[in-house]
Amino acid sequence: MDTAGNSPVQGIGAGVPERRSRRFLRDREGNVAIEFSLLAIPFALLTFAILESCISFAGSQLLANATDNVARQLRTGQVKAADLTQDELKEMICSQIDILVASGCPGLKVDLREYPTFKDAADVTIAFVGSGSEKELADSNFGFSPGKSMTKNMLRVFYEWPVMTDFMRKRMSNLKGGKTLHFASMTWQNEPFDD
């Protein structure tokens, strides 16, 4: 007898369908597998999208910081135009971003030029060749002519960042080959230093 005074023994088969249906509704053994299969793919896609975006953003910030550091060295005369080649400039930037990019910074492009006025520097645009998913950065007009003391200069740094995950490539890439363009720029007037 239970506390309510009911006898645990009932007639044969009495209440069996009711007990089975209650037991079936309480059974949760297969639910986890089904729920996981429904949620695993969207969760993985979301996780990869977040990781891809965060790493890309970190690379962009690293590029901006490297551009600022190199521009400061040029502005203060720590590195002078006469002592610098375009390849050395690329290496200075690459050494500061190599933690997140491929060895040798294969997608790095730089444009360092002297301008007569800040307005002339502001009028410079970014040109592309092609359109849509076949678009490429037109770097044929990039130059390397850093100015001397008290001149106005602009350093533009571009990096063709490869998008790693296939499903994000269609949504994040804006260049040919599934890449996205990271860009940093600094414009300044050199300090009075000995050339």
> What pLDDT is attached to residue 13?
55
Q: Is the pLDDT of residue 66 over 90?
A: yes
> What pLDDT is attached to residue 15?
58
pLDDT-derived band at 10, boundaries 50, 70, 90: low
> What pLDDT is attached to residue 35?
80
> What pLDDT is attached to residue 124?
94
Could you give the CA distance from residue 163 to residue 172 in angstroms, rounded to a whole number?
Answer: 7
Closest CA to 112 of 65, 75, 78: 75
CB 140 within 8 A of CB 184: no
The pLDDT > 90 percentage for the chain reads 61
CB 97 within 8 A of CB 62: yes
> What pLDDT is attached to residue 164?
87
Q: What three-state secondary structure class fits 66? A: helix
3-state helix, strand, coil in the chain (%, to 5): 45, 20, 35
Q: Is the pLDDT of residue 6 over 60?
A: no
For the purposes of burial, counting CB atoms within 10 Å of the CB of 192, is it exposed (0-12), middle (13-18) or buried (19 or more)? Answer: exposed
**Residues 8-15, mean pLDDT to the nearest whole number:** 56
In tens, the pLDDT along 122-166 reads 999 999 999 887 899 999 889 999 999 999 999 999 999 999 888
Q: In 9-113, where does DSSP find H-type helix? A: 16-26, 31-76, 86-97
Q: How far apart are the first and last CA of the chain?
A: 105
Per the DSSP assignment, residues forming a β-bridge with 137 are 128
Beta carbons within 10 angstroms of residue 155's beta carbon = 22
Domain ranges of the chain: 29-189
**Residues 69-85, mean pLDDT to the nearest whole number:** 93
For helices 31-76 and 86-97, angle between their N-to-C axes, nearest 10 degrees: 140
Could you give the CA distance from residue 44 to residue 129 in angstroms, rounded to a whole number?
Answer: 35
Beta carbons within 10 angstroms of residue 167's beta carbon = 13
